[in-house]
Amino acid sequence: MLRFMFVGDSMTIGSAGEHTWRYWMWRHLCAAHGAPFKIVGPREALHDKATDDATSYEYAQPDFPRRHLAGWGEGWSHMTPLIADAVTAHRADVLMVSLGLIDLGFYTNAEQTAENVRRFVAEARSANPRIAVAVLPVIPNVRAETEPAFAAEVTRFNELLAKTVADLDTASSALLLASPPPEYDIHLDTYDGTHPNEQGERKLAAAFAGAMWEAWGVGGPLEL
C-alpha cells in the first residue's frame, strides 16, 4: 500500500473553509489509483486567518484524510529539518511537494533555495532510501507582475529546480518535476493573486496527477 504525503506552504495547507488541492488529489486517487493507499503526515490543521495560526479544522469537505506536512509561511528551509522524522514516523513512500514561493519572497535567493531542495531530498532519502518525490515548480504570483527582480528569481529558481531534479533522480529513488498547470491564471484561479480558489486547487491537483501518471503509472490523469 502506497503512503502519500503532501508537503507544502500556504497553498497546500489552505485556510479555514477551503477544500485545498489535497482534497481533489485524494478524491482523484480514490477513483483512479486502483489499489489501497493512505494519506499520511504529522499535521492535520488548516491555517486560521483569524488567529494567524494552524488551528482550524473547518475543512469545506471534512470527510477525507487530512494528514499533511504543510505550513503557512513555511518553505524548503522550514521543511528540510522536519522531513526525515516525518518520513520515518509516517512511513511515507511518495512525497508531493509544492514549495519555493515563500522562500524566494522572504528567506532565500534562487541558488540558496535550490541548495535547500538538495538537502531536503538527502534528508528524505536518509529516512527512506526508496522515497519517490514529485515536485511542482513555483507558480509566479501577483508580486511577480509588479517586481521584475522577484519574477527573475522565480524564473531562475525553476531553472535550477529542473536541473536539481534531473541530477538527483535515480532508479531507486525517483524524482519528478511536474509541469505547471496549463492555463493557470492567478486572476481567475486564485482569490488573492497567490492562494488558489477551488478552480485553482483542481488545477494544482491535476498537475501532480498527470505527472505521476505519465512518469510512474500512478493513478491516472485528472479530468478538470
- pLDDT single digits (tens) 128-174: 999 999 999 999 999 999 999 999 999 999 999 999 999 999 999 99
State the average pLDDT for the chain: 95
Which pLDDT band, with edges at 50, 70 and 90, does 195 fall under? Answer: very high
Neighbour tally for 219: CB within 10 Å = 23
Across the chain, how many H-helices and E-strands are there? 8, 8
> Where along the chain do its domains lie?
2-216
Long-range contacts formed by 158-161: CB under 8 A, 24+ apart: 160/110, 160/111, 160/113, 160/114, 161/100, 161/114, 161/117, 161/135, 161/137
- Cβ pair 205, 25 in contact under 8 A: yes
The CATH fold assigned to 2-216 is Rossmann fold (3.40.50)
* Residue 40 pLDDT grade (very low, low, confident, very high; cuts 50, 70, 90): very high
Grid cell in block for residue 4: 502519500
C-alpha cell at 163: 536541473
State the Cα–Cα distance between residues 221 and 1, nearest whole angstrom. Answer: 20
The residue behind cell 511537494 is 97
**β strands within 137-220, DSSP E:** 175-177
The amino acid occupying position 78 is: H
* Angle, CA 95 vertex, CA 89 and CA 100 arms, to 5°: 115
Question: What is the mean pLDDT of the segment spanning 73-80?
Answer: 97
Q: For residue 7, is pLDDT > 90? A: yes
**Nearest Cα to 116, choosing from 101, 130, 100, 131?**
100
Least confident of 115-119, 132-136, 186-190, 217-221: 217-221
pLDDT tens by residue, 77-118: 999 999 999 999 999 999 999 999 999 999 999 999 999 999
Is the pLDDT at 221 greater than 90? The verdict is no
The pTM score is: 0.96
Residue written as grid cell 488545477: 203
3-state secondary structure of 153: helix
Q: How far apart are CA 46 and CA 29, in angstroms?
A: 21
Could you please report the per-residue DSSP string of 8-60?
Answer: ESHHHH-BTT---HHHHHHHHHHHH--S-EEE--SB-PEEETTTTEEEE---S
Range of lowest pLDDT (4-8, 52-56, 210-214): 52-56
Q: What cell does 19 get?
A: 477544500
Model pLDDT, residue 224: 65
